[in-house]
């Protein structure tokens, strides 16, 4: 039986509220023991002195582009990029070609992942057929096929009646309905946050209220229907405030935020750099700070990358024509460690938002190093300084705002199901 000993690391397990120096022993596909001075003869030893040893990071929200747009990314390349970023599992959205709105496509994705991806892949199936926002999908069959949640992400379900029925029907399965909350009539074709920057740049603005109005609607629908709502990529103060109030009232809602919305503002688009174009857009300082506070307080439960690969020729279009999105697997950790460096979050609380909560939201095992838990482990060096060269990324795409930047914090080893799939010296190993 395969045995691995992770020795001397700072073991951070939010599920047990543990944060102390210890060893972790893996046997086969499970955590066998956590404690000091563990002995494991014949085990492969990984010296973790100076590093964090945490439950595997789980990304609630990404785009792997397969089937249909493999020129941007596929399940293999995306899975490798994820593992290189310390993620042991990712949940991929349904806006592929064809849309993942039936069990056959969900099957295909899972099968592909089994063969090609070092990280686990949990498909998020569409909430409506073809993402058209009219007819809901066969949720029961999809969950049986392996779908972990439902979402029309990429698009918004604009019809309130449809969203109501989707939330009501979803009560048949234990899965969240993830909403990409942007009222398209208020977005009005906007390509950047509406504000002083959009005025200066002469670009159509997408006002914060487009998100706030839609979050309000979905929260009320969630409360009314009893369905389980999850708000994707929160970016505005208004949305954070509404979610806080809803949670106080006992509404069944969770929320995520992307790394870029925690550190960047719309000022980053001042040079028309399309790698800064994202949906929802980078917002004002006030919105960014509110998202940080929301994450710290727990109003926002999780961090999710919204890794969205696009080919170079697609991003080289006019700003308004370029598709929105940034890749993010390999830079997420360094970016969000900013909240630990600033003292806003303890390492334990950060890992909780990167692992334990995402697992819970997806109704999947993970986020825990308890004995018997699946051996998905991330080994992290929070202080390592490195220069991100996007040309060397495992992703097929290059649309990152951090190319060439000096980052601090990096995954140095990733283990999935008891196997070392990545280490920083040798790269992806399987």
Partner 1 sequence: MIGRDLLGIERLERAEIERILDTAEHMREIGTREVKKVPTLRGRTIVNLFFESSTRTRASFEIAGKRLSADVINFSPSTSSLKKAESILDTARTLDAMDPDAVVVRHAEAGVPQRIADVLAAPVINAGDGAHEHPTQALLDLLTVRQEKGCIDGLTVTIVGDILHSRVARSNIYAFRKLGAEVRIAAPPPMIPCAIEALGVKAYTSLREALEGADVVMALRIQNERLAGAYFPSTREYSATFGIDRAKLRFAKDDAIVMHPGPVNRGVELAHDLADHRPGVILDQVRNGVAIRMAVLYLFAGRQPAEAAR
Neighbours of 246 (CB within 10 A): 23
Neighbours of 98 (CB within 10 A): 14
284 or 331: whose CB is closer to partner 1? 284
37 or 202: whose CB is closer to partner 1? 202
Residue 161 touching partner 1 (CB under 8 A): no
CB of 203 to partner 1, least distance (A): 5
- φ/ψ bin of 77: left (φ > 0), alpha (ψ from -120 to 50), beta (otherwise): alpha
- Give the Cα separation of 63 and 316 in Å (integer): 20
- Give the Cα separation of 430 and 420 in Å (integer): 8
Pair of tokens at residue 5? 């000993």
Pair of tokens at residue 296? 């710290």
In the residue annotation, 289 being an active-site residue is answered as no
- Give the Cα separation of 81 and 119 in Å (integer): 9
Closest CA relative to residue 204, chosen from 212, 193, 213: 193
- Give the Cα separation of 101 and 254 in Å (integer): 23
47 or 285: whose CB is closer to partner 1? 285
Residues 375 and 30 sit within 8 Å (Cβ to Cβ): yes
Q: Which of 21, 45, 196, 387 binds partner 1 (CB under 8 A)?
A: 196
- Give the Cα separation of 375 and 194 in Å (integer): 45
Q: How many helices (H) and strands (E) does the chain have?
A: 15, 19
Catalytic choice (153, 287, 306, 376): 306
Residues 203-262 that bind partner 1 (CB under 8 A): 203-205, 207
> What is the per-residue binding string for partner 1 in 113-142, x denoting contact by CB under 8 A?
------------------------------
CB of 279 to partner 1, least distance (A): 17
83 or 197: whose CB is closer to partner 1? 197
CB of 140 to partner 1, least distance (A): 39
73 or 266: whose CB is closer to partner 1? 266
CB of 286 to partner 1, least distance (A): 13
Neighbours of 44 (CB within 10 A): 12
For residue 392, whether the previous peptide bond is cis, meaning omega lies within 30 degrees of 0, is no
CB of 191 to partner 1, least distance (A): 9
Torsion over CA: 165, 171, 172, 176 (sign)? positive
49 or 271: whose CB is closer to partner 1? 271
Residues 267-286 that bind partner 1 (CB under 8 A): 271-272
- Give the Cα separation of 153 and 147 in Å (integer): 15
Binding-site size, partner 1 (CB under 8 A) = 21
Residues 21-80 that bind partner 1 (CB under 8 A): none
Residues 286-345 that bind partner 1 (CB under 8 A): 313, 316-321
Is residue 129 classed exposed, middle or buried when 0-12, 13-18 and 19+ CB atoms within 10 A define those classes?
A: middle
114 or 185: whose CB is closer to partner 1? 185
Residues 165-194 that bind partner 1 (CB under 8 A): 194
CB of 53 to partner 1, least distance (A): 44
Element (H, E) at 117: none
Q: Which of 201, 209, 296, 340 binds partner 1 (CB under 8 A)?
A: 201
CB of 260 to partner 1, least distance (A): 20
Q: Which of 14, 79, 85, 195 binds partner 1 (CB under 8 A)?
A: 195
Which sequence positions are flagged as catalytic?
A: 306
Footprint of partner 1 (CB under 8 A): 194-196, 198-205, 207, 271-272, 313, 316-321
């Amino acid at each position: 039986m395969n045995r691995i000993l992770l020795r001397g690391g700072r073991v951070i397990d939010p599920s047990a509220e543990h944060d102390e120096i210890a060893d972790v022993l893996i046997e086969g596909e499970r955590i066998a023991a956590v404690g000091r001075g563990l002995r494991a003869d014949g085990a492969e030893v990984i010296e973790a002195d100076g590093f964090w040893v945490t439950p595997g990071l789980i990304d609630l929200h990404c785009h792997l582009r397969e089937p249909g747009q493999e020129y941007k990314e596929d399940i293999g390349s995306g899975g490798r990029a994820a593992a290189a970023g310390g993620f042991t599992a990712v949940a991929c959205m349904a806006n592929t070609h064809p849309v993942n709105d039936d069990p056959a496509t969900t099957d295909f994705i899972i099968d592909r992942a089994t063969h090609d991806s070092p990280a686990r892949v949990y498909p998020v199936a569409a909430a409506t057929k073809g993402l058209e926002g009219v007819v809901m999908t066969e949720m029961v069959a999809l969950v049986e096929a392996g779908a972990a949640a439902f979402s029309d992400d990429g698009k918004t379900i604009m019809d309130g009646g449809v969203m109501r029925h989707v939330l009501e029907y979803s009560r048949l399965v234990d899965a969240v309905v993830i909403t990409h909350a942007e009222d398209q009539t208020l977005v009005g074709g906007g390509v950047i946050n509406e504000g002083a920057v959009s005025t200066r740049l002469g670009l159509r603005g997408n006002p914060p209220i487009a998100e706030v109005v839609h979050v309000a609607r979905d929260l009320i629908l969630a409360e009314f229907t009893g369905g389980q709502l999850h708000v994707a990529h929160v970016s505005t103060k208004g949305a954070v405030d509404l979610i806080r109030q809803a949670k106080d009232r006992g509404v069944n809602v969770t929320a995520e935020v992307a790394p870029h919305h925690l550190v960047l503002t719309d000022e980053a688009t001042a040079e028309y750099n399309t790698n800064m174009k994202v949906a929802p857009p980078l917002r004002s300082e006030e919105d960014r700070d509110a998202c940080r506070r929301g994450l710290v307080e727990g109003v926002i439960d999780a961090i999710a990358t919204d890794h969205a690969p696009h080919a170079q020729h697609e991003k080289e279009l006019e700003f308004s024509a370029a598709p929105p999105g940034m890749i993010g697997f390999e830079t997420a950790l360094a970016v969000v460690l900013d909240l630990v460096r600033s003292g806003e979050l303890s390492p334990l609380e950060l890992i909780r938002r990167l692992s334990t909560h995402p697992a819970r939201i997806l109704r999947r095992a993970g986020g825990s190093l308890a004995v018997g838990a699946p051996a998905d482990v991330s080994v992290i060096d929070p202080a390592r300084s490195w220069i991100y060269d996007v040309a060397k990324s495992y992703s097929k795409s290059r649309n990152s705002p951090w190319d060439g930047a000096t980052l601090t914090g990096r995954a140095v080893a990733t283990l999935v199901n008891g196997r070392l799939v990545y280490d920083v010296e040798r790269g992806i190993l399987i």
